[in-house]
Amino acid sequence: MFKVTTKDNPEYQEFKSWSTFHKTNQVLHSHNDKPSVIGYYDSGEVCYKWWYLDGQAYCKQDYKRILKQVKSMSDTEKLLDSRWWVREQVK
């Protein structure tokens, strides 16, 4: 079992298989520094966490580095950025 957050839904949704998730055609995306994918063993213990930005997987360190770069951008730079999730961070 695993839980995911997507581009259109920052709340975790639960899935039993990857094939079930892929049929939804949703794009994985991390929100508020939370991992986009959290996998669980049958015992309920977390076995993996993955961070995504617009469907692209990143290790935690790279994800944090990218967010730090984006946070240092001016609002104008964010508005001109081609990535939708960067533009949404304008205050």
The answer to whether residues 29 and 5 touch, using CB atoms and an 8 Å cutoff, is yes
Supply the pLDDT for residue 91: 75
Q: Give the domain range for residue 49.
A: 2-87
Supply the pLDDT for residue 43: 87
Supply the pLDDT for residue 16: 92
- pLDDT, one tens digit per residue, over 56-90 is 999 999 999 999 999 999 999 999 999 999 999 88
Q: What is the DSSP letter of 60?
A: H
Nearest in space to 30 (alpha carbons), one of 10, 48, 15: 10
Q: What total of structural domains would you count in the chain? A: 1
Supply the pLDDT for residue 10: 95
Q: Give the neighbor-by-neighbor strand order of the sheet with 56-58.
A: 9-15, 2-6, 37-40, 46-53, 56-58
User: What is this structure's pTM?
Assistant: 0.86
- pLDDT, one tens digit per residue, over 5-55 is 999 999 999 999 999 999 999 999 999 899 999 999 888 899 999 999 999
Supply the pLDDT for residue 85: 93
